[in-house]
Structure 1
Amino acid sequence: MKNHIDSIKLLFVMVLEIRKIMSNILDFIKNRVVFFDGAMGTEIDRRGLDISKGVMEYNINNRKLIKKIHEDYLDAGADIITANTLTANELYLKDSIYTSKEIIEEAINIAKESVEGMQNKFIAQVVGPAGYLIKDNEQDKEKILYDLYKNQVEIGENSNVDVILIETMYSLKEAEIAIKAVKENLNIPIFCTVVLNDKGETFDGKGVKEIVETLHRNGADALGINCTSVSDELMNAVEDLMKYSHIPVIVQPNLGIPKEVQGKKIYSVDINEYVKFMLELYNRGVKILGGCCGTTPESMGKLIEKLRS
């Protein structure tokens, strides 16, 4: 009986090792254009669900919808699916009946189900900002953040995600803490994207050169910008990213500011403008492309069709 159990354990380890060899995301992103999916939160909203209290619990109480969104992005041609884990930390979920572990594990399970049977499809655990949840006068704020991130990403690694995507970071300092929490505790690829203001800086006043230097120094495997509107300012910032970065660059912009029109949210940037902008980014050397707020499977599909044709 013991020999049988040992054989099963060995087989399981071998399967995990083969999966790593066959689907190493860092090898995959070399010398090709790679597509992330688009928005999750605004897509849940577009499909008629209430997102006013967040979207994390939908992993458990409406997993069918989350899976359908993943599947629609995969059908559009996405290579990397982002699990619905952006705010799945214990501070954000303090009033939830679910723990971050329950939500993260279920989010990753849903993503895995959506890519089952597909080749060269990858799952990213998304980790978003949490500093705004901690009072500024709180002692050891950096340690609290570090521990929050450490707990989140350890759950993701145990669930065998392919990459940790630290995104929507308004503060470069917080991005640095998040990367350290991954790097010092896990052996897994790290992508990191920040949000820029109209000056082309993070909201703690750091410019592109310092952003690149900091993320390089702390061990990011790819870096870039997300949740920043399609604009000339973003294009200029990306040009600087390409100038300073020696690791792959990611750009996942949003479609501007939404307004209510006949009960629907209409974004200020339309799909054709988004696709044109992303094609220009590709022509300037950006090879990892995706979308943030307002993007949909339709917009991602149009972009992917244009580039792959």
Structure 2
Amino acid sequence: MLQFKKDRVMILDGAMGTMVQKYKGIRNIIPDTLNVLEAELIKKIHNEYANAGCDAVVTNTFRSNRLTMYECGFDFKEVIKRGIDIARSVRKDLLVAQDIGPIGRFIEPKGPISKGQAFEIYREQIEIGKEEGVDFILIETMYDIEELDIALKAADDFSIPVFASMTFNKEGSTFLGYTVYDMVKTVEKHRVAVVGANCSTGPTDMVNIVKKLLNTTNIPVLAKPNAGIPRDVEGNLVYDVNEDDFAEYILTMINLGVKVVGGCCGTTPSYIRKIRVKYDVLG
């Protein structure tokens, strides 16, 4: 199990999709496929985050489950393995986290995927990460507490640290109505190293979400907000929180007791660099 020093915080990297869109100039792309098609581009993005000062790089595998990759015409196993290899090749002193997102389809009784199917989909992804030697699993952007529970049951079969993160609106609930308290009650049934929130909200609203988490659980807390709220400007998504303000909010959350921080949609290496610089001054 990863150990968190009382006076140190882990800094993750920022968004992958934002960077892929920046370099490719298109928005309708599944970044995971570039692990096979354009590995050097993914390595370049990981390198930029590493040079910005992150402690861990997150693999480009958010949507690399069997169903999504089949629809894209790719072998999910190859996509995951290549994603891990690319991340590991960046720098030996960095931790590597395997990124796992939602399946992308509702699970019974809400949708067509059975609980057994969902369990196997998560288990086979985590098994690859375990075999390839990732340092921890990041299960993130979850919105259905039942799906999170299934993913964590799959992870329980492996001796590997797991970070679990859900996506909440500014009121502190998912679009399906699950709350921070529902998440904590669920993750505490499993072997989870870190619990947190990512995506959906900017850093302003994330402060209130992590306060609820810190007041509800003794598990170390993660915060990965978006760079604010996006708006479309001539076909490009522009986020409304700049690097300096973003880093200040992150420092506020660190001072509250958050142990793992990073960036979600809209964040870039410059956001992570600001966090590193401000945090090092604080420390």
Instruction: Tell me the TM-score normalized by structure 2.
Output: 0.93
> What is aligned with 1:162?
135
Identity %: 36
Q: Which residue of 2 aligns with 1:19?
A: none
Deviation of 1:272 (Å): 2.1
Equivalent residue number for residue 244 of structure 2: 272
Q: Confirm or deny: 8 A CA contact 2:221 2:258 kept in the other structure.
A: yes
Show CA shifts across 1:23-53 (max 9, x none): xx712x3321110000001111012343414
Q: C-alpha separation between the residues in 2 aligned to 1:233 and 1:70?
A: 28
Quick check: 2:39–2:86 contact (8 Å CA) kept in 1? Answer: yes
2:56 touches 2:96 (CA, 8 Å); kept in 1?
A: yes
Displacement of 1:243 in angstroms is: 1.0
* CA–CA separation in structure 2 for the residues paired with 1:232 and 1:254: 10
Amino acid at match of 2:76: S
Correspondence for 2:60: 84
Q: Deviations over 1:139-158 (max 9, x none)?
A: 66211111100111111111
1:293 aligns to what SS in structure 2? Answer: coil
Aligned partner of residue 199 in structure 2, secondary structure: strand
> Are 1:131 and 1:145, in contact at CA under 8 Å, matched by a contact in 2?
no
Instruction: State the partner residue of 1:189.
Output: 161
CA RMSD of aligned residues (A): 1.9
Q: Distance in 2 between matches of 1:60 and 1:175?
A: 28
Matched, 1:246 2:221: no
- Equivalent of 2:171, from 191, 199, 206? 199
Q: What is the SS of the residue equivalent to 1:95?
A: helix
Q: Which residue identity does 1:172 align to in structure 2?
A: I
Counterparts of 1:308 and 1:70 in 2: how far apart (Å)?
A: 21
Alignment partner of 1:146 out of 85, 108, 119: 119
Task: Provide the aligned length of Structure 1 versus Structure 2.
Answer: 280
Could you tell me which runs of 5 or more consecutive residues in structure 1 were left unpaired when the two chains were aligned: 1-24
Instruction: Say if 2:208 is the partner of 1:236.
Output: yes
CA distance in 2, matches of 1:240, 1:137: 28
Q: Which moved more, 1:48-57 or 1:278-287?
A: 48-57
Greater Cα offset, 67-76 or 230-239: 230-239
> 1:37–1:232: structure 2 CA closer, same or farther, 3 Å change rule?
closer
CA distance in 1, matches of 2:74, 2:264: 26
Q: 1:144 to 1:131 in 2, by over 3 A?
A: farther
**TM superposition score normalised by structure 1:** 0.85
SS of 2:250's partner is: helix
Partner of 1:96: 72
- Amino acid paired to 2:5: K
Q: Which amino acid aligns with 1:163?
A: F
* Change beyond 3 A, Cα 1:139–1:262: closer
Whether 1:298 aligns to 2:270 is yes
Q: Are the equivalent residues in 2 in contact too, given 1:230–1:277 (CA < 8 A)?
A: no
Q: Which moved more, 1:203-212 or 1:127-136?
A: 127-136
- Deviation per CA, 1:62-106: give whole Å up to 9, x if none: 100100111111111101110001110111112333211000000
